[in-house]
Amino acid sequence: MHCRPGFEGEAAAEMQELSAAKGIAGYAVTREGTALVRFVCPEEGEAATLMRKLSFHKLVFVRQWALGSWLDVSAEDRITPIITACAQGPLASCLWLETADTNDGKAMAALTKKLSKPLESALLKTRFIRPTKTDAPRLHLCFESGQRIFVGWSWANNSAPWPMGIPRLKVPREAPSRSTLKLEEAWHHFIPRDEWDSRLSPGMQAVDLGAAPGGWTWQMVNRHMKVIAVDNGPMDRRLMDSGQVEHIEADGYMFKPKVPVQWMVCDIVDKPARSSALLARWIARGWCREAIINFKLPMKRRYYEVQQCIDHVQSALDEAGIRATIACKQLYSDREEVTCHVRVLQAGSYKVQSAV
């Protein structure tokens, strides 16, 4: 499993808890700062069973995963043992070469680039990769070093759609801050691409809490939405000149919309309990239909804090009689935080409460 460097313990704790809940014995092997976690199931076949029973999209700290084993190879011949290992697994639709998301991992880039074409050619020749077999799993080769490689497989309907779980996004030159990528990546993760036109459509009303200077607002303006940007700080002048942004100088936690909106987004630095209460209030009171918010995590008990936040939001929605999906993920663009998304599927019996 891939994760953010420094969050190996959280990914391990998450897998340990979920495995126990499914009645499958297993244990995590971690090393701080490696950005990789092994989860071992001693009973034969149990690892595959666990991977089928768990929904990847419900994992918070795991960016990508694959089912397989580690392989030791020599520098003189890496391809032959890899081909032999692939013979023990399923046919694959494509090959992904990966490394850990660390400086040591990045140092492996030259080697993986050098091996890419010879490996793909050998796997196509042996027919262990068949691009026309679109329902087949992906083959992952994760290089820990030049002599140690993980050979594994993942299935497209239960894994991240990118190698290592990292989407390749670029900061738009027009965006006023790099934080703009947080919202774009969140959309890629939480909203199927074929639903963007209906759920992120022009003319929608949105509120950006803690908006300045406007990184998240820029994404919504770029989708031709109308945005209320709430922040005591100044907004980017080009955004204000777009005619799509209304800037309200106020505390994002205190703001109440006069009418319900489609979207609320928030990237305010504060305690996670306060942010989860804000999210619960907006959804439970019918102020928005979808929301994306970041929970800034403390240095300790980070996995526990995330669970507390999710439970808080779920309890508020249950009390209001609202059926909604709640998803949480530590995105590549996130640092000491996770991103939470809520989408209302069926409103409760509440009356919309506004500022008037």
Catalytic residue annotation: 296
**What is the signed CA dihedral for 180, 181, 182, 183, rounded to 10 degrees?**
70
Q: How far apart are CA 342 and CA 79, in angstroms?
A: 45
Q: How far is CA 329 from CA 74, 160, 177, 178, 310, in A?
A: 37, 12, 21, 19, 11
Q: How far apart are CA 158 and CA 167, in angstroms?
A: 16
Q: Which residues contact 129 (CB under 8 A, 6 or more apart)?
A: 91, 92, 93, 94, 95, 120, 123, 139
Give 136-195 as a DSSP string: SPEEEEEESSSSEEEEEEE-GGGS-SSGGG-------TT-SSTTHHHHHHHHHHHS-GGG
Q: Does residue 16 sit in helix, strand or coil?
A: helix
Take residue 169 and report the two structure tokens written for it. Answer: 């996004």
Bridge pairing between strands 226-230 and 205-209: parallel
Is the sign of the CA dihedral 256, 337, 233, 217 positive or negative? Answer: negative
73 backbone dihedrals φ, ψ, rounded to 5°:
-130, 165
